[in-house]
Amino acid sequence: MLEALKKQVLAANLELPRLGLVDFTWGNVSGRDAASGAIVIKPSGVPYERMTEMDMVVLDANGAVLEGKLKPSSDAPTHLELYRAFPELGGIVHTHSSWATVWAQACRGIPALGTTHADYFFGEIPCTQGLTAQQIAGQYEAQTGVAIIDCLRERGITPTQMPAVLVANHGPFAWGADADAAVHNAAVLEVVARMALLTLQMDSGLPAMPQQLLEKHFFRKHGPGAYYGQG
């Protein structure tokens, strides 16, 4: 079942090491089938260079394995929480990419300092609140998803406006309309995380970019009035 989606999710996972977004097995991509609600995700702990289409694990919306002989990624409950909360998502990626993870470990959001950032993220890329001891001891991965959901909702922003969030002391999660878009957003996140850190090293007191410029760059690529590109 879902052969095309499994091929896409495998290809998206293999992009992570090619783009320099993962070391070892530290990352995962999933894709969601809109018709059935089934999720295809990377298996847990399998090296990228050995992964095949047959290794992809198919889950239902509740996390039950529908197809696959290997265990799904340990982060699958986080993905499932996000898909349940935001049905518009078609792909999710988690990495420990170095520059974004630096911000996550500092428990700091990435400020919008320039137009490269604004082309993709409508404002500061937020960092979640840290998990409580009770959340860590319980359903840790699911609670990570809840923390991301709460982070977006508390700020009144949608996952379309903000296609990535940093998890405090952990690392980034990104998403998109499908698995390919999610990986693209994760790659852009890593670029703007590096740019922001280097910019603030030059001047730690820089304010965020002007709101009018932020809105201009974001909405020229997103929304009903978008005019960037050939679409």
Q: Under 8 Å CB-to-CB from 120, ≥6 apart: which residues?
A: 163, 185, 188, 189, 192, 218, 221
- Sorted by where each starts, the structural domains of the chain and their CATH numbers stand as 3-219 (3.40.225.10)
Which tens digit of pLDDT belongs to each residue from 27-43? 999 999 999 999 999 99
**Of 101 and 229, more confident:** 101
d(CA 154, CA 184): 26
Cα(193)–Cα(175) distance, integer angstroms: 16
Which residues are marked as active site? 119, 228
pLDDT in tens, 75-134: 999 999 999 999 999 999 999 999 999 999 999 999 999 999 999 999 999 999 999 999
Confidence of residue 170 (pLDDT cuts 50, 70, 90): very high
**Of 127, 22, 13, 145, residue with least CA distance to 76:** 145
pLDDT in tens, 171-211: 999 999 999 999 999 999 999 999 999 999 999 999 999 99
Contact 79, 92 (CB under 8 A): yes
* pTM of the predicted model as reported, rounded to 2 decimal places: 0.96
Rounded distance between C-alpha atoms, residue 125 and residue 10, angstroms: 27
> Which residues does residue 230 pair with via DSSP β-bridges, in sequence order?
none
Does residue 148 have a pLDDT over 80?
Answer: yes
The Cα 77–Cα 144 span in angstroms is: 9
Q: What is the pLDDT of residue 1?
A: 67
- Residue 40: beta bridge partners? 31, 58
- Whether pLDDT at 231 is above 80: no
